[in-house]
Structure 1
Amino acid sequence: MNTRLFARAMLAASTALCLPALAMAQDTTQPTPAEASDQAEPPLDDDDIVVVTAERREQSLQDFAGTISVFSGEDLRKIGVQNVTDLQEQVPGLSIANNQGNVEVFIRGIGSSNNTELGDPAAAFHLDGVNLPRPRGIGSAFFDIQRVEVNTGPQGTLRGRNATAGSINAITFRPGLGSFDGSLEFEAGNYEHRSLRGVVNIPVTDNMAVRFSGMYLEHDSYYDNVGPVRGIDVAEAEDNYAGRAQLYWEPTDRLSILIAGDYISENGTGFTGSNFALPLGEIENGNLSSLDEIDNPRDVIARGITPVLDSDHWGIRTKITYDADDFKIEYTGSYRDVDYDYEATTPLTPFFPGVLDSLSFREDALAPANPDGSQPLVDPNIVLAENLDDFSRFRTITDSRSHFHELRIFDTEGDFIWSVGGLYIREDQFSFLASTGDRSPFFSGLEFNTTVDTDSFAFYGDATYEIDGRFRITGGLRYTNDSKQRQGVAARYGFAIGDDNFNCCMGVRVGTEGFEFAARERTIFNPDTDGDGTINNQEIIDFYFDGIKQFGDRDNVDEIFANGPGATDAPCLDTITGDNLTCNGFADTDNFTFAVPFGGQIFRQDGNFDDEFVDWRIRGEWDITPDNLVYALIASGHKSGGFNDNLGDLGVAPTYGTENVILYELGTKNEFSLGNVGVRLNASLFYNDYSDQVFTSLLSVAQAAELGGVEVDLPGGTNQALVVSFSFNAADSRIYGAQLDGGFDLPENIKLDFNLLWLEAEIGNAEPIQDFRFQADVDPENAVFREIEGRRLPRTPRWQFNARLSQAFELPQGELDYVISLGYRSSQYHTIFNSIEFDADGNGTEVTSGRLLDRIDGYWTMDLGIGWSIDDAGKYRLEGFANNVTNAIHEAAIIITQFDNTRFFTRPRTYGARFRAKF
């Protein structure tokens, strides 16, 4: 079935069911959606108790011996949280960034930025108990959410594979038996934000119910194209819709069955980030003394094409539970398909004073005047026009199809609580990344076209025994086996194109309007088509052309190579109009006189990795009184290793080992009263022993071979200066600190909650690391190995603070409530080099400007929400919200390479209002 048709049908069904039901409903005593769902899964008795399921059983937050943050869906909606990336401003220690569609999660400095098909997240994401290996597109699943739990620390025994940092668990409302209810909600705000959400819960029989929910969200871009080329939209506009359908059935008192399906479609202009290399001084005339001179970093100079995102994420799952009196048996099965397709050109630069002068500059523009006194050969106006007419584009496709199966036997009652089980995860990926090098006489693009298959199975056991009613001990053990295989091809294309004096260089065009990559339609994976054991120039050209479905309207690379490699008489096009003229501002030449491959490499990929590891945990907890708990725990977690790209054509693919984290934590949880004020006060001390930490660098093939300990000869013809992405076990790190959280129940129904984190995170024992901010084939003097011991880990502010003030009070008509959420993050770095610049002797100095700047200054955020429940029954509600009230402009991620300082920002100030009706 066509997935888009399925999605639209699900969304239409959800909305259609909501609308007539709203008109028909008359009984104001019917339960709310939350109450209906809770009938299927009874909550704890006290309405003020916060329920968590970190141990895969329901318990009070205050009874949980560990660190966790939990938010109800209602709490998140009140302050305008739209998706998972917004959570980072609510949870100390949590960093979430959307890096070109990749959701990167770090918890207390532990995470992963390896977003290739070979990388795995270090913080596991779960939707209703199902592990999602690729959480792309899951942001729009944040509708009809009961609660979100952020578990801190290794989750190796209970939450499984690759959870060294922790886990994020999104728990949706499930169908409630015996009640017909639902809601319809409309929301509007700035940036032309519009959202529609609908929910309906329908009892089919006394023991069966269905629940339909859907959402639609759209808004304009958070960026603004202020450049001379109009008609190009820029990143972060969204046009998303999603639907979820669930059926819950209790055929007997012992047996329950839940079947659910969901579909998420995310469209719009995606996430490109913005390259700050120019204003930070990478290019002459572009250096600013401070980024503060940029009024709005979301004002950019756009070029090329409007980014196009086409992401479909859907899945089906089932959970079958049987109660055998003394224990329960539970099976969870799921299939998910994530198809992410994104094509874009990145903005040339953010806007800053003098930006157009900077874009008009090129070294030849400053050449001496001609002997006759005329101006230099290159006109700055032409240079500006060429920069603005650059169609260097990229396209990335990730197609992940994953199977999840788990069988668990458990008992959650009595003095002995235990759980044993096994699970199997399989993921099949197709991964494509390609780019074009428009206007370049040397670099003409790259392509990765691969498939990766991953299998993981595990067996685990975990138990808690209550010794005397006050003291409990917990132990857990888990065995995991991981295997990964990869096949495909990786290529970097380099062509020398020009005349004898390279006069026609900027007339090389590829990627202009109408251009299409072949992607899945590629037919040649082995460039040695004649089978003679060597790859000649014609075979390189044939391979390159096979990866292109259609050249652009103003492309001329196809004409240049029409007669094969070597001498050519292809016309040198006017760089702007595409007419067959002499190149504007260049020497008089009408034709390219040579076009030959050089320095490019085509590497067929064939890698594999296998590993097995054991996770464990030990915990003791003691109830000093019913309201005072102390605990101590030790827990381990692993993140599977993997392999790198092949060095050379089918050459060795060096592997990197599995990461390991051991957490030591001592904590206490307390509730008491100060006069008529109820107080909750929790504290913990923690230490993470982080070993075999993996870093990823851009290395030359020769450096990668040396670092990877590759002692075999590389395949003949391999360019050892070629730059490759390379992951390796580089360091052991120490992460420690203290966390304090609590709350006050004040008079007049005022509540004040807070959370404070002090965090130290530094690299301990480490091998020297190649400075991946420089490329060995471009700047070999700086692309050398540097000491990193003692550097602070990225994304680890030393101080992090959150506070939340809320109140609800009765009005003559209904109830009014408000919430004020405040957050602070101290300064942090985003690379392991901590903004350090090295001199010729290897001495380092922290920079305050320039391309190497990766330091983010401390900042405050504030979110507001206010609501009016219009009637006493709470059927109708009007709300207003403002997220990031101060419009704090801060980076969620920074990527620094030889030519880039690319920054991704959290959302700007957004505000709006919503109306909700329940029935």
Structure 2
Amino acid sequence: MSQHLPHRTLATTIAAALAAWVPATQAQQAATSEGEAQARTLDTVIVTVERREQDLQKYAGTAQAIEQDEIRQLGINNELRNLQALVPGMSMSNQEGNLEIFIRGVGSANNTELGDPGAAPHINGAYIPRPRGLGGMFFDLERVEINKGPQGTLRGRNALAGTLNIVTRRPDFHDFGGYAQLEVGNRGHQAGEFALNLPMGGVAGLRVAGYSVEKDSSFENAGASQHLEPAGIQDEQGGRVSFLYDAGEGLTVFAMADMGKEGGTGYPGANIYTAARAGYTPDDLDLRKVIYRGPQGVLDSTNWGAMTSIGYDFGPVALEYNASYRDVDYQQTNAASDGIYWPGRNIAPVSPTNPDGIDYDLYSTNYWQTQSQSQVHELRLSSADDTRLRWTTGLFHFEEDQQVGYLSLVDKGRWYSGTEFTMPEVKGRSSAIFADGTFDLDERTRLKGGLRYSREFKSRYGIGGNWALGLPGVGGDFATRLGTPGFEPALLKRPNFDVGGLTSQADLARFLLQGILREGGNDTIGQQIGGVANGGDFGCVDRPDIGGDTIDCPYESWVQVSGIPGQQFGESRFSFTDWRVGVEHDLSPDHMVYATVSSGHKAGGFNDTFDPEDIPETFRPESIVAWEIGSKSSHRWFGRPSTFNISAFYYDYTDQVFQDLAVIAVNQDGEATGFSLVNRNVGESAIWGVEAESVMRFGGGFMLNLNALYLNSEIKEGTVADVRSQNHDAGGITSLIDLSGNELPLASKLTFNVRLQQTIEVAAGTFDWQLLAAYRSAYYLTQYNNRDVVYISDTAGTVDRIEDAATAGFPDRQRGETTLNAGIGFTTLSGAWRFEAWGSNLLDNDVSQKALVGSGINVRFLNDARSYGLRARYQF
């Protein structure tokens, strides 16, 4: 007798073990062949999560596909982040126009030019490296696919947490038609959308679509400067042209070009730090009442792209070439604020020149500029779908060029008047070779496997650091005005980015002034250091609007331009391998069980340059290995077709990147005197959970969708700098905090949604309605998990004081909330007209979806407030 189990016997043993875990129900065993056929066709959803079209019920993994009609009818519209109400375990937020996606507690909040998403976004399968303006792609869709868990083999780059794929509507070869849609709603909502399909001889088609939306902000200006509009006002337009050719002779061509334009007042955040220090919790206050002051928030963003897919089917194999190009040009002036309003707070300072506190003459704010040009190329060779071994292999290449600028101004600044990070040259490159396949051991059992080898490269050149000024007057105070009305930063229009050899006061002053494209009407910096740039003296300015004590001219003898941004350079190179193995077994034609192990990575990178003589410190790619077992079944429930899917998973999350502290300056005695935060691989976490979903049909046209996730996340190790405790009086030193035992940010233990729908045929047409209730339990917004803040005063770790997180201004727990969406519609008998009413976040809950914390900062980025409206659609 052989001492080794044959492959078929081994697979049967695994399948039997899975069958014992999820036994077939008695109803399934007794189902008739006719009933099974009906169950198999229940709500068949074709997806491309494995890079091939397949029934979602036949996919061995956890994924969701949400159709365009479902999205529209529930009022999600172009608010892409509202999609999370339909997807348990997914969290989406928007910071300065960058969409952050977390799935099952895994993602990335690094929005810098060197950061990468942790959940990879795609459009029609094409990777998007900078997820800005994705809401502008959210029209005329087929569906949105969300794949949960690492997808390193199938999707590759930065699919650590999973993927989100926006699938647009493709042209139809045969029918001329389209639609026109208008809608109105609360907060001044006005929107329009259209699509036109043009068949071309039965072998090709052209589709043109577009949209426009205007909507007022959900935030309120609670300050004295009522001429300022709050952040969050939307003004967006987009368009798309698609072409498809297929003559049935093996050659297929798909091409698409799209463009989106975003205006308005920028993406809103609410700083709760001062309110928390005053003793208020986020639940006590209206987080949408913000005290705006200074410059008006302005957003100007253009996002366009083109893609093509050319395939030829040779019969036994098919060859496909995919290419895409995307260009992002994003600019934003932040709507500056003094945080949120709380009862009794003065909304403007009272002074001799402002006795009534009616204006806040302070123009500190942030300026952002991001430009990205990226291209993706992929060559794939695939076997036919009807073979015993179905395989895909190919090559992948990605390139990105970025130019980014950031300027943080401190109007009436003391000792410094700004921080600038401007990078005219940032490059990223990734190449991979991959293979993936499924082999039929027999008619019921399949083995799956895949391998992908990737190489990553990043580099950067530019400047970064403080604009440092010391301008005290004799016997008086010191201040500089910068950024007042009319001010424009130079950013990428700077004439020079080389700071090598700039040491004299004239050189330093000249470099700072080159960062200003146009001075503001009340700025003083030109008068103060303009002469120095030309080899002359400092100009002392004594004006009552400078703030604090006015300057007593002349200046002290030791006035100086203390510093300019330092030279930034660096590069990183990494390579890694992703893989997956798995087995599927059909217990019946309508019941599949599976087990998989897969891996994924998120790209590594490097930190800022602190010493021109040193090579910047790098951090390695993050990695997850995920185990998952599951069952997917279609069955008869009380005589009605239904589905029930369940999976259990465990993630081993290693090389996790957290912010740590680096010494960037020492005194003559070798003692550390300056500190900065850097990214380091100092974390490891474990994540496990169970997810279940079911679709059930009832009599009377009712259908019920249930989806639930239990998630447990725990940081196993990670001692890092606590940015909340940064002590700038001691060079920027922070205390250290051990994160072990904490939960991952944004990882609710329990999320579930219930969606009830009904369709009723009446004499004049079809009436339908649906109701979505989504619950998400409490979660932490940061890795600190409301732990106490320990302030230290020196490098020896001498404790100055300890404060609980709320008292220190950093409460970071979001309580559990239920989100309620609803839609009701009527379609005429001819199908030409449809009328809808919709409502989103009908309970009007304010939910913090992200927190940005630091010294004196606790900015919350919120969900969209209650929205509702009416829509009319004409289909032709």
Same fold? TM cut 0.5 = yes
The 8 Å contact of residues 527 and 539 in structure 1, kept in 2 or not, is answered as no
Matched, 1:271 2:267: yes
Change (3 A) 1:586 1:778: closer
Change (3 A) 1:670 1:527: same
Q: Which residue of 1 aligns with 2:540?
A: 570
Distance 2:376 2:559 in 1: 49
Deviation at 1:453, TM superposition (A): 0.8
- Candidates 880, 894, 903, aligned match of 2:837: 880
Q: Which residue of 2 aligns with 1:457?
A: 431
Q: What SS does structure 2 have at the residue aligned with 1:789?
A: coil
Deviation at 1:783, TM superposition (A): 1.1
Q: What SS does structure 2 have at the residue aligned with 1:563?
A: helix
Matched, 1:55 2:18: no
Deviation at 1:458, TM superposition (A): 0.6
Equivalent runs, 1:181-200 vs 2, <5 Å? 181-200=177-196
Task: Provide TM-score, normalisation by structure 2.
Answer: 0.90
- Candidates 284, 288, 306, aligned match of 1:293: 284
Which AA in structure 2 matches 1:433? Y
Q: What SS does structure 1 have at the residue aligned with 2:346?
A: helix
Count of aligned residue pairs for this structure pair: 826
Distance 2:837 2:663 in 1: 54
Deviation at 1:499, TM superposition (A): 1.6
Q: What SS does structure 2 have at the residue aligned with 1:329?
A: strand
Deviation at 1:251, TM superposition (A): 4.6
Deviation at 1:815, TM superposition (A): 0.8
Q: Which residue of 2 aligns with 1:514?
A: 486
Q: Which residue of 2 aligns with 1:803?
A: 754
Q: Structure 1 stretches of 5 or more lacking a match?
A: 1-43, 282-286, 362-377, 577-582, 703-713
Q: What SS does structure 1 have at the residue aligned with 2:57?
A: helix
Which AA in structure 2 matches 1:773? R
Matched, 1:491 2:459: no
Q: Which residue of 1 aligns with 2:134?
A: 138
- Candidates 496, 499, 504, aligned match of 1:527: 499
Q: Which residue of 2 aligns with 1:472?
A: 446
Deviation at 1:485, TM superposition (A): 1.2
Distance 2:589 2:214 in 1: 49
Distance 2:470 2:124 in 1: 54
Deviation at 1:765, TM superposition (A): 2.7
Which AA in structure 2 matches 1:492? N
Equivalent runs, 1:434-833 vs 2, <5 Å? 434-450=407-423, 451-503=425-477, 505=478, 508-528=480-500, 531=501, 535-564=503-532, 568-575=538-545, 586=549, 589=552, 592-593=555-556, 596-597=559-560, 600-649=563-612, 651-697=614-660, 700-701=663-664, 721-766=673-718, 768-778=719-729, 783-833=734-784
Change (3 A) 1:845 1:558: closer
Q: What SS does structure 2 have at the residue aligned with 1:543?
A: helix
The 8 Å contact of residues 542 and 550 in structure 2, kept in 1 or not, is answered as no
Deviation at 1:562, TM superposition (A): 2.9
Deviation at 1:717, TM superposition (A): 14
Q: What SS does structure 1 have at the residue aligned with 2:172?
A: coil
Q: Which residue of 1 aligns with 2:28?
A: none
Alpha-carbon displacement from aligned partner over 1:702-758 (angstroms, at most 9, x marks no partner): 5xxxxxxxxxxx999999645544111011110111111112111111111111111
The 8 Å contact of residues 474 and 552 in structure 2, kept in 1 or not, is answered as no
Change (3 A) 1:343 1:867: same
Deviation at 1:225, TM superposition (A): 1.0
Deviation at 1:462, TM superposition (A): 0.4
Change (3 A) 1:175 1:731: same
Q: What SS does structure 2 have at the residue aligned with 1:312?
A: strand
Deviation at 1:775, TM superposition (A): 2.2
The 8 Å contact of residues 234 and 264 in structure 2, kept in 1 or not, is answered as yes
Alpha-carbon displacement from aligned partner over 1:35-80 (angstroms, at most 9, x marks no partner): xxxxxxxxx9947212221111122221111000110011000011
Distance 1:541 1:151 in 2: 53
The 8 Å contact of residues 276 and 806 in structure 2, kept in 1 or not, is answered as no
- Candidates 309, 323, 326, aligned match of 2:313: 323
Q: Which residue of 1 aligns with 2:203?
A: 207
Equivalent runs, 1:101-140 vs 2, <5 Å? 101-140=97-136
Matched, 1:857 2:815: yes
Q: Which residue of 1 aligns with 2:788?
A: 837
Deviation at 1:204, TM superposition (A): 2.1
Distance 2:450 2:107 in 1: 23
Q: What SS does structure 2 have at the residue aligned with 1:355?
A: coil
Change (3 A) 1:697 1:603: same
Matched, 1:346 2:320: no
Q: What SS does structure 2 have at the residue aligned with 1:335?
A: strand
Change (3 A) 1:323 1:574: same
Q: What SS does structure 1 have at the residue aligned with 2:542?
A: coil
Change (3 A) 1:427 1:309: same
Deviation at 1:118, TM superposition (A): 0.6
Q: Which residue of 1 aligns with 2:9?
A: none
Change (3 A) 1:874 1:243: same
Distance 1:633 1:890 in 2: 35
Q: Which residue of 2 aligns with 1:906?
A: 863
Which AA in structure 2 matches 1:390? L
Distance 2:148 2:670 in 1: 45
Q: What SS does structure 2 have at the residue aligned with 1:773?
A: helix
Change (3 A) 1:142 1:345: closer
Alpha-carbon displacement from aligned partner over 1:234-257 (angstroms, at most 9, x marks no partner): 211111111101111225521011
Which AA in structure 1 matches 2:559? V
The 8 Å contact of residues 699 and 775 in structure 1, kept in 2 or not, is answered as no
Q: Which residue of 2 aligns with 1:398?
A: 370
Q: Which residue of 2 aligns with 1:78?
A: 73
Which AA in structure 2 matches 1:463? G
Change (3 A) 1:265 1:716: farther
Distance 1:240 1:335 in 2: 21
Distance 1:717 1:124 in 2: 48
Change (3 A) 1:670 1:151: same
The 8 Å contact of residues 462 and 568 in structure 2, kept in 1 or not, is answered as yes
Q: What SS does structure 2 have at the residue aligned with 1:452?
A: strand
Change (3 A) 1:874 1:108: same
Deviation at 1:471, TM superposition (A): 0.6
Distance 1:807 1:844 in 2: 56
Distance 1:212 1:47 in 2: 32
Which AA in structure 2 matches 1:491? G
Deviation at 1:291, TM superposition (A): 3.0
Distance 1:697 1:380 in 2: 45
Q: What SS does structure 2 have at the residue aligned with 1:179?
A: coil
Which AA in structure 1 matches 2:313? D
Q: Which residue of 2 aligns with 1:918?
A: 875
Change (3 A) 1:594 1:535: same
